[in-house]
Copies of this chain bind each other. A is one copy, B any other.
Amino acid sequence: MARYVLKFGGTSVANVTRLQHVAHIIKKQADAGHELVVVVSAMAGITNKLVEYAHSLCPDKLTNEHDVVLSSGEQITSGLLALALSQLGFQSRSYLAWQIPIQTDDTPSQGRISNISTARLEECLRHKRIPVVAGFQGVNSEGRLTTLGRGGSDTTAVALAAALNADRCDIYTDVDGVYNADPRLVANARKLSRITYDEMFEMAAQGAKVLQARSVELAMKHGVKLRVLSSFVETPGTDIVKERENVESTLVSGIAHSQNDVRITIKNIPNHAQSVATIFSHLAENAIPIDMIVQTSVVHDHVDLTFTLLHSNLERAQHVLKEVQKIIPYSQLDIDTDIVKISIIGVGIRSDLNSLQLLFQTLAIHNISVQLMTTSEIKLCVIIDKHHTDVALNALHQAYELEKVAA
């Protein structure tokens, strides 16, 4: 007998038929004698609808009330799936974050889990019941509801797996595993049978939608075994592991891309030591994370600052930066929404000069200019014009010989 956390994403629970199908997947594991804790996302589409409501009433900031509204989506699914399991003859009940509780810090919309009490879930398991936990949500020190950021149900699942010492955390989704590039855009994309935590983290952080990056980080930290698999078709899926057996054989494990970013350039910032720091601290106070940053062209004591952030934060960021202009009188704000971020991911990639050269060479052959670039131990990351997405992805996939990767 093993203990598994099973997490089902929005498309897996999108309607009554899908919920019943998920109940049968769970039944198969339960019948095999395993102890199961289930985590669910909101039914596909619901969260977007709720975000839309909240945004039209309050477009300029995120508050605890946004979390009250948004967390109801997962509440609905947890109740419905518990009902579906009961109909199959299992003892099952829903758990909301405040009933467990899953405690978080106070940051609205981006709460981080600080503690999980396992007593109630352990008791539930002792009584041979299947708990269905509402993902994505938490409760802060004041007893108010919080949410864990987009895709936060993955984090709920991994955090529960760690707290409950589960043997594995299975993430059921609408794709059948992790691919080394987006299979909808790259014909030769290959499904990986295994990938390391590090690589998966970068793939997720750089746009591969299959897992929330924070959940991978958490799994890595607590050594939670992760598996990504489909709730639609029965295929093996991808295991996320500590180390690849033969890490030397393929340096680059995958290519991720994201079209969710926008590039902002602030021009002619008076070069006081404090100016740039002030800009970033205002963005941070408003919970707007920024990604790639480049500071350029000091002219007459003035600097230009370029960075990227999520498209969904653009409206709020513009609002904040307009306010900041009253303190830091910069001359101009340029926004480019037609960009794509492409990331080449592999353990040790920065120390391999060939990889970097190959990247620029391949893009140059296709006349694609790099607008912005950053690197880390494990990835090379470039911003290019959005309409080059397809050409760039396929060319890079071929250049790095990813179609030869043994799955």
Residue from A69, A73, A83, A94 having most chain B Cβ neighbours under 10 A: A83
- Give the A interface residue count (CB, 8 A): 37
Contact check: which of B64, B65, B67, B78 meets A80 at CB < 8 Å? B65
CB neighbours (8 Å) of A67 from chain B are 79
Q: Known contacts A65-B93, A99-B143; is A57 also within 8 Å of B75 by CB?
A: no
- In the complex, are the beta carbons of A65 and B79 less than 8 A apart? yes
Output the nearest chain B residue to A142 by Cβ-Cβ distance: B99
- Copies of this chain, complex-wide, total 2
Question: A63 to nearest B CB, angstroms?
Answer: 7
- In the complex, are the beta carbons of B75 and A63 less than 8 A apart? no
Task: Say yes or no: is A76 at the interface (Cβ < 8 Å to chain B).
Answer: yes
Question: A368 to nearest B CB, angstroms?
Answer: 42
CB neighbours (8 Å) of A71 from chain B are 75
Question: A127 to nearest B CB, angstroms?
Answer: 14
Contact check: which of B20, B65, B94, B96 meets A83 at CB < 8 Å? B65
Question: A132 to nearest B CB, angstroms?
Answer: 9
- In the complex, are the beta carbons of A63 and B83 less than 8 A apart? yes
Give residues of chain A (109-157) contacting chain B, Cβ–Cβ below 8 Å: 143-145
Task: Say yes or no: is A11 at the interface (Cβ < 8 Å to chain B).
Answer: no
Q: Mark A92-104, 1 if CB is under 8 A from B, else 0.
A: 0110101100000
Residue from A79, A82, A84, A87 having most chain B Cβ neighbours under 10 A: A79
Task: Say yes or no: is A293 at the interface (Cβ < 8 Å to chain B).
Answer: no
- In the complex, are the beta carbons of B54 and A79 less than 8 A apart? yes
Output the nearest chain B residue to A56 by Cβ-Cβ distance: B16
Residue from A64, A69, A84 having most chain B Cβ neighbours under 10 A: A69
Q: Known contacts A68-B78, A69-B76, A76-B50; is A83 also within 8 Å of B57 by CB?
A: yes
- In the complex, are the beta carbons of B98 and A80 less than 8 A apart? no
Binding site for B on A (CB under 8 A): 16, 19-20, 50, 53-54, 56-58, 63-69, 71-73, 75-76, 78-80, 82-84, 86-87, 93-94, 96, 98-99, 143-145
Task: List 17 interface pairs A-B (beta carbons < 8 Å), by A numbering.
Answer: A16-B53, A16-B56, A50-B76, A54-B79, A54-B83, A57-B80, A57-B84, A57-B87, A63-B83, A65-B82, A65-B86, A66-B83, A67-B79, A68-B75, A69-B83, A72-B73, A99-B143
